Every structure is written in structure tokens, then in C-alpha cells.
Amino acid sequence: VTVTDLVKESFDRIEATDDQIGAFLTLNEDAFEQAKRMDELAKTSDNPLFGMPIGVKDNIVTKGMRTTCASTFLENFVPAHDATVVERLHDAGAVTIGKLNMDEFAMGSSNENSAFKPVRNPWDPTRVPGGSSGGSAASVAAGQVLFSLGSDTGGSIRQPAAYCGVVGMKPTYGLVSRYGLVAFASSLDQIGPLTRTVEDNAYLLNTIAGHCDMDSTSAEVEVPDYTAALNQDLTGMKFALPEEFMAEGVAPGVREQIEKAIETLKSLGATIETVSIPSVKYAISAYYLLASSEASSNLARFDGIRYGRRAEADTLDEVFMYSREQGFGDEVKRRIMLGTYALSSGYYDAFYKKAQQVRTLMKQDFAKVFEEYDAIVGPTAPTTAFKLGEQLDDPLTMYANDIMTIPVNLVGIPAISVPAGLSEGLPVGLQIIGNYFDESTLYRVAHAFE
């Protein structure tokens, strides 16, 4: 097959399915040109991503290609450069097919916060694909692309991967460059791969991981070949199952599939013990304070002067005010207000500082678990995909979705969601959480479920 064939197949599939799914916000008009050039030059490469069509979440900047963050504010924003991850994929020979729908500025768990259109779950179009990387997960699940990039601040790669029955990896903080990722909460954000298979996922991480001078939080670590771990068996491995992840809110059908997955791990020679990580119960409150605080600061740059939408106004103050009033959706405004409040003088110690203390406590709790166990296992999300509209009027219920994914971002460790069976016809995700920079172990364990 030629690169042109692959690109054509991807576009055909998008044409046939995306009216219903809504995964793409922008298609790359130059994709065929690029494919043709690659075919003509008869370029070859050892990289398995060579010639592969990929989708990129629309908060990752792409040179000359609209990058909206699914916000009215950036509806017509065309970046002047590529994010480091995009550059690395292009160097590997991958072809960007287009930009993927998401919750506005990555704030949400259902993709319903996109300013343009919701994404629908390919398994059942009356249901959400999860969020905020809903387009990234749905496009892979619907076979539009085999590889996509998402971002994960509090679960936004893993939860949609779980809801759509695909593999999603949130790498260790600092492993993948954030240069060119539009910042939501800079101390939590990570870019990561979504794919059909664990092996594809490892290839994609191989390509995007590694130090980058343009990101001051980028780690100086050796990047191993993540596929090397895939065929090692699980004999003798020790897993921890936090009781807090199997508590009341977990739907019976999810619990059943996770228990089955645990039996599978045991049958492969691993041991599993129940542990308690008490600080996990503070995770949601701490996260929504910290993430909103960072967001209120990061989103200050959208002022109507530097980027995107500029409202008609008489004074400079009005330009700021009206641009932000018209450009941001409700959820984004809610977070900016919450974050600004939490950071204001007089409240800082009570909220922001307390939340940071919780974060430190959680780091210590998780470190203790990793002294004894190779990895932590549990559900990725408490339920399977819910119906569109079901949680829209209830932000707190929506926030509660993130209980199992958020601790991982607060601590900065990696985690993968891998499909582990169906509950009433809908995919359930098994989450495997590892120690810092131990992505290889996660791939090794996840591979056992394929």
C-alpha cells in the first residue's frame, strides 16, 4: 500500500462516519499532497508510524492548520508553528489527517463542552465518548484513524479511552514535551497516545517521548523502547487494588469486569492485594481547586489582543471584557471564576495552599504503595459511557467521574486505560497505574489483556 492509499482510506472513513460521530473539527487539506510527495520520493523508514494517518487533539498547535481548543475564542486561530509532538510525528513520517474535537480548553468529561458540536460514542451514538479528548478516542474507535494524540490533565485521555474501548496512555509528567500544548493546568497537563492496540500505543509513545529544550518541565531521561516490554510475562508481579477505587459509586457491571481482569492477572502468575490510599478521597476537591487556579492564570492571555477573537468595544477594558465574555463558554468561565477566587488574597491559605498540601500527602501515599507493589490496578471510571445531556446540568456529578484518574495527575505518575470487557454492550476500561517513568511496566501488563 502507498501512503496515498492509507490517507484516502482514512478520509473515506471520516466521510462515511463523521456526520454522526463529530470527531473532527478541521481536516488537513494538504494531507494528500504530503502523501503524494512521500510516495513519489519513495521514502521509506523503519518507523512503524511511517505513512500512518494520525489525528491530533485541537489543543495541540499545528503550523498553518486551525487550532481552536473547541472554543469560539480561537475559532479562526492558525498557529505559526508545530508542537514538538507534531514535529516528531512528522519526522517519523506520520501524516496529520486533522484536528480532533474536545471539551473547550480541555475542561470537561463528556465532550459536551465543545463550542462547536458534541462528539458521539461510536458504540452508541446516544452516549458521550467521554472527555475531554472525546474526539481523539472516538476517531480511533470508529476506525477513522489508528493513532491519535490527546491530553490528560485529570483523566482526559484515559476516561474517553475507557468509554470508547480503546487504549489510552497518560505518561509521567515531563516525559512528553508540552511545547505547543495550549496550557490548561501546567503542573498537571500531559500529552499522550490513544490507539486500538497496546503495541501501537507503545510505538506512538516511542516517537513522542523524550527531552525537549522548549519545555522547562521536560525531563532529562533515557527513553527506552516501550515495545520491548510487551512480551514479558507477569509471573511474580505484585499489584495493589485500592479499596477507594472499588467503593460504592462503582457500577456493578464495571466492578464485574474489573474483578474478571483481576482473575486474569492472577491466572498469569501475579498476586493482587487490596490496599487503602486514604488521601484519594480529597483528590477531586484538591484537583478542581488547583486546576482551576492554574487555568485562571493560563487563560489570562486570551484578552482579545494577542490571540483569537476581538470584540467590538470603545475602550481597552471593554475589549478585554467583551472578548472574554463572548469568547469563552460557561464551563471555562466557571473555572476562571473558581480559580481567581481561590487565589485571591485572604483565601489563598484556606484553598490553594491546602490543596497543595493534599497533593504532597498523596505523593507520599502513592510512594508507599510503590515500595511494595509493581503497579496499581482498578477501574478507569466508575461507570460506562453515559447518555448525552444526562449530567450536563450537574457539574458536581460530572466532576465526580474523575475520582480514579485525577490522583494520577496530582502525583505526576503514568497510567494506562486498556479495554477489559463489556458491560451491557459498552466498554469498560481497566486502569493500570505505575511508578514515575515506568511506562514499560504498564504496557507489559496492558498487553496481557489483548
Residues belonging to the active site: 57, 132, 156
At its nearest, how many Å lie between ligand GLN and the CB of residue 413?
Answer: 15
Binding residue for ligand GLN, selected from 122, 135, 154, 180, defined by CB under 6 A: 154
Q: Are strands 426-433 and 375-379 parallel, antiparallel or unpaired?
A: antiparallel
> Is residue 152 a contact residue for ligand GLN (CB under 6 A)?
yes
Q: Whole-angstrom Cα distance, residue 144 to residue 15?
A: 9
At its nearest, how many Å lie between ligand GLN and the CB of residue 76?
Answer: 23
At its nearest, how many Å lie between ligand GLN and the CB of residue 425?
Answer: 24
Q: Which is nearer to ligand GLN, 188 or 265 (CB)?
A: 188
Binding range to ligand GLN, per CB under 6 A, among 4-12, 43-51, 118-126, 148-156: 148-156
Q: How far is CA 286 from the centre of its chain?
A: 19
> Is residue 261 a contact residue for ligand GLN (CB under 6 A)?
no
> Is residue 181 a contact residue for ligand GLN (CB under 6 A)?
no
- Stretch 183-212 residues interacting with ligand GLN (CB under 6 A): 184
Binding range to ligand GLN, per CB under 6 A, among 63-71, 107-115, 355-363, 424-432: 107-115
At its nearest, how many Å lie between ligand GLN and the CB of residue 264?
Answer: 28
Binding range to ligand GLN, per CB under 6 A, among 6-14, 106-114, 192-200, 354-362: 106-114
> Is residue 69 a contact residue for ligand GLN (CB under 6 A)?
no
Q: Which residues neighbour 301 within 8 Å (Cβ) at sequence distance 6 or greater?
A: 307
At its nearest, how many Å lie between ligand GLN and the CB of residue 191?
Answer: 11
Q: Which is nearer to ligand GLN, 168 or 427 (CB)?
A: 168
Q: Whole-angstrom Cα distance, residue 382 to residue 130?
A: 12
> Is residue 106 a contact residue for ligand GLN (CB under 6 A)?
yes
Q: Whole-angstrom Cα distance, residue 149 to residue 61?
A: 12
At its nearest, how many Å lie between ligand GLN and the CB of residue 42?
Answer: 41
At its nearest, how many Å lie between ligand GLN and the CB of residue 353?
Answer: 21
φ, ψ (nearest 5 deg) of residue 80: -95, -5
> In this structure, are residues 435 and 424 in contact, taking their beta carbons and an 8 Å threshold?
no
> Is residue 332 a contact residue for ligand GLN (CB under 6 A)?
no
Binding residue for ligand GLN, selected from 101, 156, 296, 441, defined by CB under 6 A: 156
Select from 173, 253, 266 the least CA-distant residue to 218: 173
What number of chain residues touch ligand GLN (CB under 6 A)? 13
Binding residue for ligand GLN, selected from 109, 144, 177, 384, defined by CB under 6 A: 109
- Stretch 286-315 residues interacting with ligand GLN (CB under 6 A): 291
Q: Which is nearer to ligand GLN, 131 or 165 (CB)?
A: 131
At its nearest, how many Å lie between ligand GLN and the CB of residue 231?
Answer: 31
Q: How far is CA 213 from the centre of its chain?
A: 23
Q: Which residues neighbour 267 within 8 Å (Cβ) at sequence distance 6 or greater?
A: none
Binding residue for ligand GLN, selected from 48, 93, 108, 412, defined by CB under 6 A: 108
> Is residue 155 a contact residue for ligand GLN (CB under 6 A)?
yes
Angle of CA points 220, 224, 230, to nearest 5°: 145
> Is residue 380 a contact residue for ligand GLN (CB under 6 A)?
no
Q: Whole-angstrom Cα distance, residue 284 to residue 290?
A: 10
Q: Please name the residue that has the C-alpha cell 487504549.
A: 167
Q: What does the block give as the cell for 123?
A: 458504540
Determine the residue with CB nearest ligand GLN.
156
Binding range to ligand GLN, per CB under 6 A, among 147-155, 249-257, 337-345, 422-430: 147-155
> Is residue 338 a contact residue for ligand GLN (CB under 6 A)?
no
- Stretch 397-426 residues interacting with ligand GLN (CB under 6 A): 402
Interface residues with ligand GLN (CB under 6 A) are 106-109, 132, 152-156, 184, 291, 402
